[in-house]
């Protein structure tokens, strides 16, 4: 049996200290933004800062318990943890909606968001599943199982609906790409079944991530040009028609390159890829235009149009984002000082949800550019430290989980900051260890302390 000293001998202190510092910063910011002069004590548990203090204490207690559990337990019980979270995600769909989403599971006077913990369970099971397959002998069933692990919680989260958490689940695709998981076996299986012939490889399977980038670019252009009108040759054409002409022109240009400069033996395959990409691009452009103009709800269209700069509504649909940018900018170089936030304080209510999704606003207003730079440096250190921890693992399970944690942190930080400075739509996603909320602080603390425990036992794994 390991002694206490042995259990924590390899504990990564830099990451632990950075997380604890971030907790303190988050706690002081929540206190500032929700400050009630009638109950100034930090231990006023009827106030939000008192409740946040309780959640931090509970999360640290849970973190210590997680450190006492043997690392192998997380691997052995990853399936049960995952299934338990799926059950909670199903149960939450039958709960009354809160702010238009069925994301909260009530327990007495409290509530938790199962989607926050589903990220951890998905990371654990994904790590276990990859650890059990031979990366050199990947098959369609193994790749399909990995996608199914990601798909099940994603669909349940989409039904809530919770667009922010759903977007975070896409971060796991980059972990698959990092580990060399190829979608080629899956696409090969589908193509061979459909055509009745045998292919050795597929372009889509070996270039899946570039394909996603291609889809993203086409989608953004389609959204940007949907509903727009342009003058051409004395007449008016829609932006989507113009985009179809542009796509056609690019396809013709690539066709000339293939015919004139391409190697003859690769010409047929390149032409198949080009025609397929061209047909898919046209289908995607028109599909997105149809969904955007005919199926999207008014508030969804407003958010997209506001983010893309197609319309301005500073006192209406774009109020949150507009006031958030004003609060961030009002801090100047050195900030207004602690407890001096005026634009983003809950007392003025100029920035709704300033203690949760927009917690970055009061911090920036109080500490200015210098404080913001230090906070971003701290976040950057945590993410890079997690990736460093991932790279030094001997176990595939440990490494995959660490990369999943790093990508979850990166997504949360990038999207939340993008919301606060007007570079991303307002989709509701907490800033790690800063935003008010029990589910968020418990989930991120659990995520990090499980990582710390796995890293503690990295030397127990034989190469």
Burial status of residue 319 (CB atoms within 10 A of its CB: 0-12, 13-18, 19 or more): middle
| One-character DSSP codes across 22-42 | HHHHHHHHHHHHT--TTS--T
Name the band, by pLDDT with cuts 50, 70 and 90, for residue 143: confident
Question: How many Å is the Cα radius of gyration of the chain?
Answer: 25
Higher pLDDT among residues 374 and 214, named by residue: 374
- Identify the residue with better confidence: 348 or 430: 430
Instruction: Give the pLDDT confidence of 182-208 residue by residue, as tens digits.
Output: 665 555 555 555 544 444 444 455 556
* Model confidence, pTM: 0.79
pLDDT at 137: 60
Give the containing element (helix H, strand E) for 230. Answer: strand 229-232
Q: Would you say residue 439 has pLDDT above 70?
A: yes
> Quick one: pLDDT band at residue 288, thresholds 50, 70, 90?
confident
Greater confidence, 259 or 451? 451
Question: What percent of the chain clears pLDDT 70, i.e. is strictly above it?
Answer: 78
- For residue 8, pLDDT over 80 is answered with no
Listed ranges 101-110, 273-282, 310-319, 357-366; the one with the highest mean pLDDT? 357-366
State the chain's mean pLDDT as an integer: 79
Highest mean pLDDT among 132-146, 332-346, 353-367: 353-367
| pLDDT (0 to 100) of residue 199 | 45
Query: Higher pLDDT residue, 245 or 459?
Result: 245
Mean pLDDT for the stretch of residues 387-395: 88
Calpha distance 401→288 (Å, rounded): 35
Instruction: Identify the three-state secondary structure at position 229.
Output: strand
- pLDDT value of residue 340: 78
> Which residues face 107 on adjacent strands?
110
Q: What is the pLDDT of residue 268?
A: 76
**Is pLDDT above 60 for 319?**
yes
- Kindly give the pairing relationship between strand 110-112 and strand 105-107: antiparallel
Residue 237 DSSP SS3: strand
**Which range, 113-117, 254-258, 306-310, 421-425, is most confident?**
113-117
Range from 16-20, 21-25, 327-331 carrying the lowest mean pLDDT? 327-331
Task: Tell me the average pLDDT across 451-459.
Answer: 87
What pLDDT is attached to residue 186? Answer: 55
Among 71-75, 134-138, 148-152, 252-256, where is mean pLDDT lowest?
134-138
Band of the pLDDT at 379, cuts 50, 70, 90? very high
What is the secondary structure of 162-228 as a DSSP string? Answer: -HHHHHHHTHHHHHHHHTT--SHHHHHHHHHHHHSS--S--HHHHTHHHHHHHHHHHHHHHHHHTT-
Q: Is the pLDDT of residue 354 over 90?
A: no
Stated as kind and residue range, the H or E segment containing 440 is: helix 438-456
Dihedrals phi, psi of 238, to nearest 5 degrees: -75, 160
pLDDT over threshold 90, residue 105: no
Q: What is the pLDDT of residues 41-86, one digit of tens each?
A: 878 887 888 888 999 999 999 999 999 988 889 999 999 999 999 9
Give the model's pLDDT for residue 3. Answer: 45
Omega prior to 371 cis, within 30 of 0: no
Among 113-127, 128-142, 373-387, the minimum mean pLDDT is found in 128-142
Can you give the pLDDT at residue 342?
74
Q: Which of 70-79, 171-180, 210-219, 279-288 has the highest mean pLDDT?
A: 70-79
Q: Which residues pair with 236 in a beta bridge?
A: 231
pLDDT of residue 23: 94
- Number of residues that make up the chain: 463
> CA-CA distance, 16 to 381, in Å (whole number)?
12
For the chain, the domains span: 182-310
Average pLDDT over residues 258-264: 75
């Amino acid at each position: 049996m390991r002694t206490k000293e042995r259990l924590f001998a390899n504990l990564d202190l830099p990451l632990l200290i950075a997380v604890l510092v971030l907790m303190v910063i988050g706690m002081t910011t929540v206190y500032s933004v929700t400050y009630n002069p009638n109950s100034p004590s930090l231990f006023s548990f009827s106030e939000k800062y008192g409740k946040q203090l309780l959640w931090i204490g509970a999360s640290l207690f849970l973190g210590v318990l997680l450190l006492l559990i043997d690392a192998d337990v997380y691997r052995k019980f990853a399936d049960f943890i995952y299934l338990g979270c799926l059950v909670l995600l199903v149960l939450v769909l039958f709960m009354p909606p809160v702010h238009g989403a069925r994301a909260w599971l009530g327990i007495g006077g409290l509530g938790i968001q199962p989607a926050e913990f589903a990220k951890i369970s998905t990371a654990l099971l994904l790590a276990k599943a990859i650890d059990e397959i031979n990366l050199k002998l990947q098959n369609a069933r193994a790749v399909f199982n990995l996608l199914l692990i990601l798909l099940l919680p994603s669909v349940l989260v989409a039904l809530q609906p919770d667009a922010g958490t759903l977007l975070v689940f896409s971060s796991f695709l980059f972990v698959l790409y990092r580990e060399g998981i190829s979608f080629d076996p899956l696409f090969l299986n589908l193509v061979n079944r459909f055509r009745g012939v045998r292919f050795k490889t597929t372009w889509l399977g070996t270039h899946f991530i570039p394909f996603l980038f291609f889809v993203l670019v086409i989608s953004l252009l389609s959204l940007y040009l949907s509903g727009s009108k342009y003058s051409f040759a004395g007449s008016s054409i829609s932006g989507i028609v113009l985009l179809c002409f542009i796509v056609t022109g690019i396809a013709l240009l690539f066709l000339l390159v293939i015919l004139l400069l391409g190697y003859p033996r690769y010409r047929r395959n390149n032409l198949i890829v080009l025609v397929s990409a061209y047909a898919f691009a046209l289908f995607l452009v028109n599909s997105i235009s149809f969904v955007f103009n005919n199926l999207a709800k008014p508030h969804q269209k407003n958010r997209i149009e506001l983010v893309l700069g197609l319309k301005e509504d500073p006192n209406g649909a774009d109020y949150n984002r507009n006031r958030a940018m004003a609060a961030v900018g009002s801090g100047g170089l050195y900030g207004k000082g602690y407890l001096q936030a005026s634009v983003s304080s809950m007392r003025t209510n100029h920035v709704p949800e300033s203690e949760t999704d927009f917690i970055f606003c009061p911090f920036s207003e109080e500490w200015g550019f210098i404080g913001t730079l230090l906070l971003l440096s701290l976040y950057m250190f945590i993410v890079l430290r997690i990736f460093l921890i991932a790279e030094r693992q001997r176990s595939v399970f440990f490494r995959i989980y660490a990369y999943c944690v790093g990508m979850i942190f990166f997504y949360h930080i990038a999207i939340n900051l993008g919301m606060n400075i007007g570079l991303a739509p307002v989709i509701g996603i907490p800033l790690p260890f800063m935003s008010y909320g029990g589910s968020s602080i418990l989930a991120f603390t659990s995520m990090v302390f499980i990582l710390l425990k796995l890293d503690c036992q990295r030397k127990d794994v034989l190469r």
